[in-house]
């Protein structure tokens, strides 16, 4: 049986969108199919574009597996990287991320 979790996306104006995600879906896929502005995901999850960049709020940030070396390197090239920057194509929905708050940048280039 598949389980669902809830994720809250927050745009640059502070508007919240609550969406349900299936275990195993990437956060990027959830954002794209939910029409979340600001998650562009140009490379389709190949860890090559950085346009799926987002900021993960605590306490969930610390519950996630740490970024791979490739993800960490790509984050250095996004606009306005921060300590809680992650690439949403590298984060999988699961019960661990239930209720996670994800801040989406105003624009991605
Ligand atoms: S979708 Fe391109 S790096 Fe995540």
CB distance 41 to ligand 1 below 6 Å: yes
Q: The whole model's pTM is what? A: 0.94
Give the model's confidence band at 108: pLDDT under 50 very low, under 70 low, under 90 confident, else very high. confident
Q: Which residues, other chains included, contact 102 with Cβ-Cβ below 8 Å and sequence gap of 6+?
A: 7, 8, 9, 10, 27, 31, 54, 55, 56, 57, 88
The sign of the dihedral angle between the CA atoms of 24, 103, 52, 74 is: negative
Confidence of residue 107 (pLDDT cuts 50, 70, 90): confident
| Residue 67 in contact with ligand 1 by CB distance below 6 A | no
Give 4-103's CATH code, choosing from 3.10.20.30, 1.10.287.950, 2.40.10.340, 3.90.870.10. Answer: 3.10.20.30
Q: Quick one: how far is CA 13 from the chain centroid?
A: 17
Q: What is the pLDDT of residues 24-71, one digit of tens each?
A: 999 999 999 999 999 999 999 999 999 999 999 999 999 999 999 999
Asked if residue 75 has its Cβ within 6 Å of ligand 1, the reply is no
Residue 43 CA, closest ligand 1 atom number: 2
Compute, in angstroms, the gap from residue 73 CA to the centroid of ligand 1. Answer: 12
**β-strands 53-56, 4-10 pairing:** unpaired
């Amino acid at each position: 049986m598949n389980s669902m979790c809830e994720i809250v996306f927050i745009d640059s104006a502070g508007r919240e969108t609550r969406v349900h995600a299936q275990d195993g879906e990437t956060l990027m896929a959830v954002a794209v199919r939910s029409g979340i502005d600001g998650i562009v995901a140009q490379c389709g999850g190949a860890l090559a574009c950085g346009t799926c960049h987002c900021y993960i709020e605590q306490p969930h940030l610390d519950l996630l597996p740490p970024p791979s070396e490739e993800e960490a390197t790509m984050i250095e090239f996004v606009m306005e990287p921060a300590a809680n920057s992650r690439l949403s194509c590298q984060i999988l929905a699961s019960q661990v991320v239930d209720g996670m708050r994800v801040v989406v940048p105003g624009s991605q280039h």
